[in-house]
Amino acid sequence: MKIIFFLAVIGLCSAGLRDRASRKIGVALSHLHLGSSQYQYIAGTEFNSMTAEWQMKWDPIGNDPNTPNFAWAEELMSFAARHNQSVRGHTFIWHSAVPTWVQALENNAPALQAAISSFITSTATHFRGRCYEWDVVNEVIEGDGSYRNTIFYRTLGTTYIADAFRLARAADPYAKLFINDYNIEGVNAKSNALYNLVVSLLAQGVPIDGVGFQGHFIVGQLPTDFAANMQRFANLGLDVSITELDIRMNLPPTAANLQQQAVDYANAFRACYQVARCTGVTVWGVTDLYSWVPDFFPGQGAALLFDEQYATKPAYYSVESVLN
Ligand code: G3I
């Protein structure tokens, strides 16, 4: 195993999923784990696209209103450049990862609008031309189809959504601009509301290019209409992308759940590849060891393609077979 690892490290056998993929196959990365050679090796040889798991959000960049911090993001951008990876920008406007000083602007529409304008313009300008897609707004719809009750909605109504796309386009005309959300993978009240919002934005001439389907699933519960649902958005003339795929299960993993997970991952990739406008699939992390899932859903995890010892799981091979 060590000799293979050594040869891989020096690049003599680095065939990975990216070598089989005709579309983007991405991974969410964190600068916190770049010190691990295994983390770096898998991230660099298996994936041709990178999303910063946190480092390109408002709080890490704009926690200090006077001094933007791009250092953590630039560590990840350098990694992507060294490994010939494209970058998905994630994300300008989201109700989480909002700096404390921005939260204090609630109910002050002019000030919040100015803060949004400054953050999007400066951040999109900083990364101009280096991101093939940006998640401009993230998770703006509730499960029942209403607008999500966030500081942005409470203070600005729905205008912040179109404004964010216009600001991003003005600062970076090269990036495809996406709206991103979870639990919209099947046809349901939430995805129907998102569909209607996108139709409305397009009718207003808002520069929106695509829809991101996060794909945070529970094993055995993928919607059977995933591809058809993405297709209806593509039929609006938009790109689609599976942006944060992970498929969690109760811990400890059982052989049956790992096998079902392999089926589910294969079906998620098939759903993307059945839609011409689907630009690719990003998995939300390298290894189960650093997945967000156990912290957020106690007792659940094992959601990714590599386990906590960086070993491939059945899902890795089912994805490989779909890509082949
Ligand atoms: O590393 C910093 C540390 O330096 C700092 O002192 C500390 C202060 O809170 O924060 C640490 O950063 C943490 C970061 O992950 C590390 O990567 C943040 O606390 C923590 O909130 C952040 O969590 C991320 C979360 O989004 C919130 O931004 C998760 O890693 C990330 O997986 C998760 O991803 C989201 C997508 O963006 C949107 N869709 C849902 C998905 C899962 O929640």
Question: Which band of pLDDT confidence, cut at 50, 70 and 90, is reported for residue 302?
Answer: very high
| pLDDT at residue 12 is higher than 90 | no
pLDDT(92) > 60? yes
Active site residue 244: yes
Region 222-238: mean pLDDT is: 98
Residue nearest to atom 14 of ligand 1 (CA): 54
Span 189-207, average pLDDT = 98
Q: What mean pLDDT value characterizes the chain?
A: 96
From the CB of residue 192, how many other CB atoms can be counted at a distance below 10 Å?
Answer: 15
Tell me the mean pLDDT in the region 211-234: 98
Does ligand 1 have an atom closer than 6 angstroms to the CB of 30? Answer: yes
Q: Which amino acid is at 36?
A: S
Residue 5, pLDDT > 80, answer: no
Mean pLDDT lowest for which of 2-6, 267-271, 277-281?
A: 2-6
Q: What backbone phi and psi angles, to 5 degrees, belong to 34?
A: -70, -10
- The percent of residues above 70 in pLDDT, for the chain, comes to 96
Could you report the per-residue pLDDT of 47-56, keeping only the tens digit for each?
A: 999 999 999 9
The CA distance from 191 to 180, in Å, is 11
Return the ∠ at Cα 144 (arms to 167 and 238), rounded to 5°.
Answer: 40
> Is 119 touching ligand 1 by the criterion CB < 6 Å?
no
Q: Is the per-residue pLDDT at 4 higher than 50?
A: no
Element (H, E) at 131: none
Residues 6+ apart with CB under 8 A from 175: 89, 124, 131, 132, 133, 134, 168
Burial 1-18 (b: 16+ CB within 10 A, else e): eeeeeeebeeeeebebbb
> Which of 186, 193, 98 is CA-nearest to residue 146?
193
Ligand 1: residue whose CA is nearest its atom 34? 53
Res 185 pLDDT > 80: yes
Question: Which atom, in ligand 1's list, is nearest to the CA of 90?
Answer: 37
The residue contributing the CA closest to ligand 1 atom 10 is 60
Give percent of the chain above pLDDT 90: 95
Per-residue pLDDT, 102:
98
- pLDDT the model gives residue 241: 99
Per-residue pLDDT at 14: 56
Work out the average pLDDT over 142-153: 98
Please check the confidence at residue 177 and state whether its pLDDT lies above 60: yes
In terms of Cα–Cα distance, which of 13, 16, 95 is closest to 49?
Answer: 16
Instruction: Categorize the per-residue pLDDT at 15 as very low, low, confident or very high, splitting at 50, 70 and 90.
Output: confident
Mean pLDDT lowest among 8-22, 113-127, 161-175, 191-205: 8-22
Q: What's residue 226's pLDDT?
A: 98
Closest CA to 227 of 281, 181, 268: 268
pLDDT at 11 over 80: no
Q: What is the pTM of this model?
A: 0.96
For residue 9, pLDDT over 70 is answered with no
Q: What is the pLDDT of residues 57-73, one digit of tens each?
A: 999 999 999 999 999 99
- Residue 139 and residue 181 in contact, taking contact as beta carbons nearer than 8 Å: yes
Q: Does residue 53's CB lie within 6 angstroms of at least one atom of ligand 1?
A: yes
Domains of the chain plus CATH, in order, are 26-323 (3.20.20.80)
pLDDT at 87: 99
How confident is the model over 288-300, as pLDDT tens digits?
999 999 999 999 9
- Residue 36: predicted pLDDT: 98
